[in-house]
Amino acid sequence: MSKGDHIKPIIQVALDLLETDRAIQIAKESLEGGADWIEVGTPLIKSEGMDAIRELRKNFPDRIIIADMKIADTGSMEVEMGAKAGADIVVVLASADNSTILEAIRAGKKYGVKIMADLISCNDPVARSIELEKLGVDYINVHAGIDQQMEGHDSLAIMKKVVEQVSIPVAVAGGLDASSCSEAVASGAKIVIVGGSIVRSSNVTASAKAIRKSVDSPSSAPVLKSSPADEIRKILEDVSTSNISDAMHRKGAMQDIFSMMPGKKMIGTAVTVQTFKGDWAKAVEAIDEAKEGDVIVIYNGSRHVAPWGGLATLSCLNKGIAGVVVDGAVRDIDEIRKIGLPVFATCNVPNAGEPKGFGEINSEIVCGNQSVSPGDYIIGDDNGVVVIPKERAYEIARRAKEVEKTEQRLFEEIRRGSTLSEVMKLKKWEKH
Ligand SMILES: O=C(CO)[C@H](O)[C@H](O)COP(=O)(O)O
């Protein structure tokens, strides 16, 4: 049997990293956990060039190595580059012109490498798979890209259709974890390509092992999906406001709003209140309009009189409201702490305002210099408060989770004795 012939389902670990030495270490840990093939990820190839493939080949002489070059043109030249650097399989984009695919296949034959076609962003993946098999590719990869995954795309449904139409081995990729890998194999995938769930895990070996176990005893029971709102909330529970700010490219964080309840996290959807200078009527009426799990977000604009205090906070607790944010002052901080509801504000003062009744409930407001609309997600912790526009809540939650996973792996590498600049090769990425 040659090194490419596998009877068991194949786990291809996708090293979507930027540094070759980290990739080698993570590859070692993945193989210990039961991964089979090593993919030199597209970001790694872009960061380190073909030398990343050479180094991995040197370190893993007996393993199948895939160069995820996502070739779009010059099929022959790029397959030759991948082959000469030590790859066994080179990836070409399925959406490339047939002339490129054919040149890649011809070069593959000449240099002794197989060609995998990646269906990422293909308009008609099933029809294209049939064409690709006729053209002569060796493998098809049904792939939901990382940015697409963040918007809720997955690859399993299409993969199930593709396996019915072609007889070459079908790989699947796109945010797979142990349970989706199991479903994929039970539905006919021969290769599961796994990036984030292994390489961004703080325990790479354990994560690879979990995937090994799931693909070796596959189950066709579809992974039960929770509702988008439940999924968003579940992810937001795992991530910090710092993770969310990173996911939003530093947008979304409220300015000069601080936790009055250190250690308490808040997640909810906004009920907005516009009031003025200590007028607390609308702020308190909003409690009756809000429902369980909402966060009351108030613009008041005074640092000297408070539209919010202990009695209002206790009323929120009774209604299951998740927390309160005030652009302005709050009072009764001792009572708020006893009640234990997360409250975030600009400052605390002893002075109460008056219930005059000016303002609006559930209009678009600006709070902490951020625009907030009713229904936007509001997350608060000891770092501060961030707003996620409701239209992007799922995507941002998913991206924040990726940020959190990446950081967990970096923490693990620093715990082993590195420094942050060593792990991140900081000097390499400084602007010149
Ligand atoms: O090719 C890729 C992105 O274009 C990835 O390698 C592939 O999607 C697997 O990674 P993940 O499991 O994180 O989706």
Residue 110 domain-assigned?
Answer: yes
Confidence label for 135 from pLDDT (cuts 50, 70 and 90): very high
Q: Are residues 286 and 168 in the same domain?
A: no
pLDDT value of residue 219: 79
Q: How many domains does the chain have?
A: 2
Q: Which residue from 143, 192, 409 has its CB within 8 A of the most atoms of ligand 1, so it is best to mutate?
A: 143
Residue 402 domain-assigned?
Answer: no
Whole-Å CA distances, 54 to 50, 117, 213, 242: 7, 22, 30, 37
Residue 413 domain-assigned?
Answer: no
Residue 421 domain-assigned?
Answer: no
| Segments forming the whole domain that contains residue 70 | 10-225
Give residue-wise pLDDT tens across range 360-369.
999 999 999 9
Q: Given a cut of 70, is residue 373 above it in pLDDT?
A: yes
Residue 431 domain-assigned?
Answer: no
Strand positions, DSSP E, 217-293: 258-259, 266-274
- Does 118 sit in the ligand 1 pocket, CB within 6 Å? no
Q: Given a cut of 70, is residue 3 above it in pLDDT?
A: no
Can you state the percent helix, strand and coil of the chain, rounding each to 5?
A: 45, 20, 35
pLDDT value of residue 431: 84
Q: Are residues 139 and 87 in the same domain?
A: yes
CB-based contact 37:14 (threshold 8 Å): no
Q: Are residues 200 and 253 in the same domain?
A: no
Residue 277 domain-assigned?
Answer: yes
| Environment class of 98 (CB within 10 Å of its CB; exposed 0-12, middle 13-18, buried 19+) | exposed
Give residue-wise pLDDT tens across range 350-362.
999 999 999 999 9
Q: Given a cut of 80, is residue 5 above it in pLDDT?
A: no
Ligand 1 centre to CA of 196 (Å) is: 7
Q: Given a cut of 90, is residue 124 above it in pLDDT?
A: yes
Summary mean pLDDT of the chain: 95
User: Closest Cα partner for 22 from 428, 409, 429?
Assistant: 409
Vertex 275 angle, CA 274 and 280, to 5°: 130
Give residue-wise pLDDT tens across range 189-233.
999 999 999 999 999 999 999 999 999 988 777 767 788 899 999
User: Closest Cα partner for 231 from 397, 410, 15?
Assistant: 397
Confidence label for 77 from pLDDT (cuts 50, 70 and 90): very high
> The domain that contains 167 carries what CATH number?
3.20.20.70
Q: Which residue from 10, 13, 16 has its CB within 8 A of the most atoms of ligand 1, so it is best to mutate?
A: 16
Tokens of 304: 């000297």
Give residue-wise pLDDT tens across range 252-266.
999 999 999 999 999
Give residue-wise pLDDT tens across range 12-55.
999 999 999 999 999 999 999 999 999 999 999 999 999 999 99
d(CA 307, CA 286): 12
Mean pLDDT of the 286-301 span? 97
Q: Are residues 142 and 290 in the same domain?
A: no
d(CA 227, CA 107): 47
Q: Are residues 267 and 188 in the same domain?
A: no
d(CA 36, CA 13): 8
One-letter amino acid for residue 130 of the chain: I
Residue 404 domain-assigned?
Answer: no
d(CA 252, CA 372): 10
| Domain boundary pick from 171, 198, 225 | 225
- Does 146 sit in the ligand 1 pocket, CB within 6 Å? yes
d(CA 297, CA 370): 11
- Does 173 sit in the ligand 1 pocket, CB within 6 Å? yes
- Counting every residue, how long is the chain? 432
Whole-Å CA distances, 129 to 89, 90, 95, 101, 165: 18, 17, 10, 12, 8
CA dihedral 345, 349, 354, 356 (to 10 degrees): -30
Q: Are residues 184 and 198 in the same domain?
A: yes
pLDDT value of residue 2: 46
pLDDT value of residue 225: 76
Mean pLDDT of the 269-275 span? 98
Orientation of helix 51-59 relative to helix 20-33, angle to 10°: 40
Ligand 1 centre to CA of 417 (Å) is: 29
Confidence label for 334 from pLDDT (cuts 50, 70 and 90): very high
Confidence label for 411 from pLDDT (cuts 50, 70 and 90): very high
Q: Are residues 40 and 149 in the same domain?
A: yes
Q: Which of ligand 1's atoms lies nearest the C-alpha of 120?
A: 4
One-letter amino acid for residue 54 of the chain: R
- Does 176 sit in the ligand 1 pocket, CB within 6 Å? yes
- Does 68 sit in the ligand 1 pocket, CB within 6 Å? yes
d(CA 253, CA 246): 10
> The domain that contains 300 carries what CATH number?
3.50.30.40
Which residue matches tokens 């999906």? 225
Confidence label for 1 from pLDDT (cuts 50, 70 and 90): very low
Q: Given a cut of 90, is residue 391 above it in pLDDT?
A: yes
Q: Are residues 297 and 271 in the same domain?
A: yes
Name the residue at shortest CA distance from atom 9 of ligand 1: 195
Share of residues in the chain with pLDDT > 70 (%): 98
Ligand 1 centre to CA of 432 (Å) is: 30
Q: List the alpha helices (DSSP H) in 202-356.
A: 204-216, 228-238, 241-247, 281-289, 310-319, 333-339
CB-based contact 204:33 (threshold 8 Å): yes
d(CA 60, CA 137): 25
